[in-house]
Amino acid sequence: MANYESLKQAVIDGNGARARDLTQRALDEGRSPQDILDSALIPAMDVVGDKFARHELFIPEMLVSARAMQAGLAVLKPLLSEGESRARGKVVIGTVKGDLHDIGKNLVAMMLQGGGFEVVDLGADVKPARFIEAVQTEKPDFVMMSALLTTTMLSMKETIDALQVAGLRDRVRIAVGGAPVTERFAKEIGADFYAPDANAAVLKARELAVRA
Amino acid sequence: MATSSQQVPLLHRLSDGAVADIHFATLEILERTGLRLYDEEAVTLLKKAGAHVSEGNLVRIPARLVEWAIQIAPKRIPLYDRNGRQVMALQGNNCYFGTGSDCPHILDHRTGARREATLADVVDGMRVCDYLPNIDFVMSMFIPSDVPVPISDRYQMEAMLLNTTKPIVYVTHDLDGCRDAVEMAEVVAGGPDALRANPTACCYINITAPLRHNGEAIQKLMFLAKKGLPSIYVGSNTTRGVITPVTAAAAVALGNAGALAGLVLAQLVREGAPVVVMRTGGGGLDMSTMVSSYASPETQGYRGDVCHYYGLPIFGMAGCSDSKLPDEQALAEASLTLLVDSLMGANLIHDVGYIEYGLTNSLEMLTMCDDVIGWIRRFMEPQPVNRETLALDLIHEAGPDGEYLDKDHTYRHFREEWYPRLMNRDNRSNWEMAGGKSYREVAREKVEQVLETHRAPELDVDVQRGIRAVLERAANSAGVRLS
């Protein structure tokens, strides 16, 4: 569809106003909100994500694209039913207890949004009880935890154990990340996956969301 | 041994006017934007001194307090070795070099593979540091993965105290860890008064963000200020484009604001508390790889100009690389940053030997850098120009056809030349006969030889027991077993 091509291009170019207008035009032409989302907005962000992975695009450019995608999505949101609006899946994310470092976590959150995920950001120094509460109320597909310090990494295990005790562990896929975190550590504490950087986190979540 | 003295001209990147603008920007950030301090005692102290407090912990510091702190803070911080000899004077543009702390990984020189670091690696690292002539101070280099996490900082401190006589820059998890590290250093120095008189160790305190200071950092700073012991309080990792605006000027002003807030607090606790501020080097988030670079060029040199304006001792950062191996890229980045930090007169230059943007340490890299530092030290030495060095009579006597190899003058002065310890200047056939080894291979052999043969003098058994006692107490209160 020529229409979708220019909508996709508007998202890739980071042109929010054009993405919004073209989304509206597609609706006016009778396309369904779900089709616009699945065939234009999300594929456009996939192109952006792939370009970023190939070092052809830089983070600020990707964020501008994500914002353009959100502008299109804002037009669709009121028309999408509850289930549909969670295009890719829902993520609850936070920096774990005792750790105030939230930059890596923020980066992952921004990139997840760019990748079409709905993100609930709990902030930094998030205690296990707060994660549990969020899993109960938000019903996310993923819980993602970040830590920068070797000492606070242990809060990740504490959180997973708390989710287990609360009987919520199997309702979500758990990801961990942060400079000191390793694949081995992730396995040891019973996380579902580990990603070495923000883009890898999005790619893995994308892969798991497709399989789910 | 300091590289340079006040007589060596400094490299400047900023005009006097630009430095003043950064200073005023710093004052404005502290007074207008303010910062969050996650410690009640600190907030109360600043409030009493005239700072404006809102939202519980948002503190706006008036310019006059900052100017006052800059004025009364020590411009000279001496550090001593284990034998009570003053070996470092952090002042002016004296340069001293040391490792970094807490890399989770080592690039093992024995296997060439990267793996999680262990306590044995910390010990090996300290032995190599103790041997290397151009490494003046040590930091732990590695996070040992084979000891209980809550007390891994005590294990690092013990390994440093036992395996080198050089001054120590230590990092601890929290206030308790800091207290224990100080107590261990006191055991070696012969008590609190001895350590205060001849400090052998300095705590490196890092904060969450320039305007967001975590409680542990503040508590450590205040504890050390009370004790009159030196600390390093930098305005956090200022990853440009993320933690600060992407432009160098803003990053330097924000980082400066964070550091000076700490300086104010320390001076309020105790006037004259010794604090090293700022951190040179480092830089932006690479917007393509999301890696925070350890060697990007943009801000190199800026912070030196600002610190020299205050006269405060400067924390440097050089000899480090983003490369995953101690390879050509690593040596290029390490050499460039070492030279720049020296030219700008940073005092306490750390992170020598880091590769992989601070996640991995390499003893080969460290050993290669030691030789590079030797080159720089010779380069930075003042060169006298006088009758003896101009040697005009000698030139005239020798005449146009003369040569100088057998002259007394040559004999008198040729030892002033710098000779590399590892870099190779052999002719090709001799080099080939000796195995045709690369610089890295030579460094690897050196590391192996040092680990086999070099040991720092052992501490008295009682002193060793005293250090262990602190470690055991920490293990008990953390509820972990000693490994």
**B149 to chain A: closest CA residue:** A151
Whether residue A84 has pLDDT greater than 70? no
Instruction: Give the CA distances from residue B145 to residues A185, B103, B132, B307, B326, in Å, rounded to whole numbers and listed in that order.
Output: 11, 10, 25, 36, 22
Task: Check CB contact under 8 Å for B149 and A151.
Answer: yes
What is the rounded CA–CA span in Å between residue B465 and residue B463? 5
What is the rounded CA–CA span in Å between residue B361 and residue B334? 13
Report residue B126 as tokens.
């300290």
User: What is the pLDDT, as a whole number, of residue B398?
Assistant: 94
What is the rounded CA–CA span in Å between residue B309 and residue B260? 13
Size of the A and B interface in Cβ pairs below 8 Å: 43
Task: Check CB contact under 8 Å for A103 and B173.
Answer: no
Residues of chain B positioned with their CB less than 8 A from the CB of A182? 104, 116
Q: Which amino acid is at A23?
A: T
Residues of chain B positioned with their CB less than 8 A from the CB of A103? 239, 242-243
Report residue B95 as tokens.
């340069």
Is residue B60 within 8 Å of residue B32, measured between CB atoms? Answer: yes
User: What is the pLDDT, as a whole number, of residue B282?
Assistant: 60
What is the rounded CA–CA span in Å between residue A65 and residue A19? 10
Closest Cβ opposite residue B288 in set A55, A101, A198: A55
- Answer positive or negative: Cα dihedral of B455, B456, B457, B458: negative
Instruction: Give the CA distances from residue A107 to residues A12, A93, B31, B71, B346, in Å, rounded to whole numbers and listed in that order.
Output: 19, 11, 29, 40, 33
Strand order in the sheet with A142-146: A118-121, A90-95, A142-146, A173-177, A193-194
User: What is the pLDDT, as a whole number, of residue B189?
Assistant: 97
Strands B77-80 and B86-90: antiparallel
User: What is the pLDDT, as a whole number, of residue B237?
Assistant: 67
The pTM of the full predicted model, rounded to 2 decimals, is 0.89
The answer to whether B437 faces chain A, any CB pair under 8 Å, is no
Cβ burial of A137 (10 Å; 0-12, 13-18, 19+) is exposed
The mean of the pLDDT values for chain A is: 89
Q: Which of B332, B196, B342 is nearest to B274 (CA)?
A: B196
The answer to whether B359 faces chain A, any CB pair under 8 Å, is yes
Chain B stretch 152-171, residues whose beta carbon is closer than 8 A to a beta carbon of chain A: 152
Give, for all 483 residues of chain B, the pLDDT tens digit: 444 456 666 788 899 999 999 999 999 999 999 999 999 999 999 999 999 999 999 999 999 999 999 999 999 999 999 999 999 999 999 999 999 999 999 999 999 999 999 999 999 999 999 999 999 999 999 999 999 999 999 999 999 999 999 999 999 999 999 999 999 999 999 999 999 999 999 999 988 889 999 999 999 999 999 999 999 998 666 678 888 898 989 988 999 999 999 999 999 999 999 999 877 666 778 888 888 889 988 877 778 888 899 999 999 999 999 999 999 999 999 999 999 999 999 999 999 999 999 999 999 999 999 999 999 999 998 888 999 999 999 999 999 999 999 999 999 999 999 999 999 999 999 999 999 999 999 999 999 999 999 999 999 999 999 999 999 999 999 999 887
User: What is the pLDDT, as a whole number, of residue A179?
Assistant: 82
User: What is the pLDDT, as a whole number, of residue B300?
Assistant: 78
Instruction: Give the CA distances from residue B453 to residues B127, B161, B439, B448, in Å, rounded to whole numbers and listed in that order.
Output: 10, 19, 21, 9
User: What is the pLDDT, as a whole number, of residue B3?
Assistant: 47
Closest Cβ opposite residue B150 in set A52, A107, A151: A151
Chain A stretch 193-212, residues whose beta carbon is closer than 8 A to a beta carbon of chain B: 197-199
What is the rounded CA–CA span in Å between residue B340 and residue B318? 8
Side-chain-side CA neighbours of B29 within 13 Å: the count stands at 26
Residues of chain A positioned with their CB less than 8 A from the CB of B148? none
Is residue B361 within 8 Å of residue B103, measured between CB atoms? Answer: yes
Higher pLDDT, residue B302 or A171: A171
User: What is the pLDDT, as a whole number, of residue B303?
Assistant: 80
**B359 to chain A: closest CA residue:** A179
What is the rounded CA–CA span in Å between residue B176 and residue B345? 34
**DSSP for residue B378:** H
Closest Cβ opposite residue A58 in set B150, B173, B288: B288
Task: Check CB contact under 8 Å for A59 and B173.
Answer: no
The answer to whether B214 faces chain A, any CB pair under 8 Å, is yes
**B36 to chain A: closest CA residue:** A100
Closest Cβ opposite residue A150 in set B152, B174, B242: B152
Is residue A89 within 8 Å of residue A212, measured between CB atoms? Answer: yes
User: What is the pLDDT, as a whole number, of residue B10?
Assistant: 78
**A61 to chain B: closest CA residue:** B287
> What is the distance, to the nearest Å, from the Cα of residue A75 to the centroid of all Cα atoms in its chain?
20
ipTM of the complex: 0.73
Cβ burial of B158 (10 Å; 0-12, 13-18, 19+) is buried
User: What is the pLDDT, as a whole number, of residue A87?
Assistant: 65
- B316's CB contacts (< 8 A; 6+ apart) are B95, B279, B280, B281, B341, B346, B347, B348, B349, B350
Residues of chain B positioned with their CB less than 8 A from the CB of A200? none
**Sequential DSSP letters for A133-154:** HHHHHH--SEEEEE-SSHHHHH
Cβ burial of B460 (10 Å; 0-12, 13-18, 19+) is exposed
**B115 to chain A: closest CA residue:** A182
Closest Cβ opposite residue B149 in set A101, A150, A197: A150
**DSSP for residue B60:** E
Residue B142: φ, ψ to 5°: -125, 155
User: What is the pLDDT, as a whole number, of residue A83?
Assistant: 55
What is the rounded CA–CA span in Å between residue A195 and residue A178? 8
Side-chain-side CA neighbours of A167 within 13 Å: the count stands at 0
- Answer positive or negative: Cα dihedral of B389, B393, B396, B402: negative
Q: Which residues pair with B59 in a beta bridge?
A: B35, B53
What is the rounded CA–CA span in Å between residue B393 and residue A118? 83
User: What is the pLDDT, as a whole number, of residue B354?
Assistant: 97
Whether residue A211 has pLDDT greater than 60? no
Residues of chain A positioned with their CB less than 8 A from the CB of B241? 59-60
Task: Check CB contact under 8 Å for B290 and A198.
Answer: yes
Whether residue A2 has pLDDT greater than 60? no
Task: Check CB contact under 8 Å for B173 and A151.
Answer: yes
Q: Which of A69, A74, A80 is nearest to A31 (CA)?
A: A80
Q: Which of B265, B274, B296 is nearest to B283 (CA)?
A: B296
E strand or H helix at B28, and its extent? Answer: helix B16-28
Task: Give residue-wise pLDDT tens across range A122-160.
Answer: 999 999 999 999 999 999 999 999 998 888 898 999 999
Residues of chain A positioned with their CB less than 8 A from the CB of B208? 100-101
